Amino acid sequence: MRTVRRSQLREIVPLSDTTVYEMEQRGEFPRRFNLTARCVVWDLAEVEAWIEERRNASSVGKIKTRPAPDVRLRKTRPVKSDQG
């Protein structure tokens, strides 16, 4: 069994630490485990299986995406003039 640390996980999965933690809590991402009191790792095979599962779900269209925000509803801030 190969394991990956947090820095290696960031290279494999481009999600923030908070997003990974929240997904773990909801059961949507492989759970981390402690090797020592200060060393947290993930099972590389589980992470790779999760990526493959997401790839397959994406190609079938099972992953729901949020609609893009309507940029016309944005509030604009006035641009400051350099002359003042």
Higher pLDDT, 45 or 84: 45
Angle ∠(23,1,35) on CA atoms, nearest 5? 65
Phi-psi region of 27 (alpha: psi -120 to 50; beta: other; left: phi over 0): left
Report field, pTM of the whole predicted structure over 0.85:
no
Q: Which two tokens stand for residue 7?
A: 């820095």
pLDDT digits (tens, 9 = 90+) for 21-71: 999 999 999 999 999 999 999 999 999 999 999 988 887 777 777 788 787
Query: What pLDDT score was predicted for residue 82?
Result: 67
Q: Helix, strand, coil: what percent of the chain each, to 5?
A: 45, 15, 40
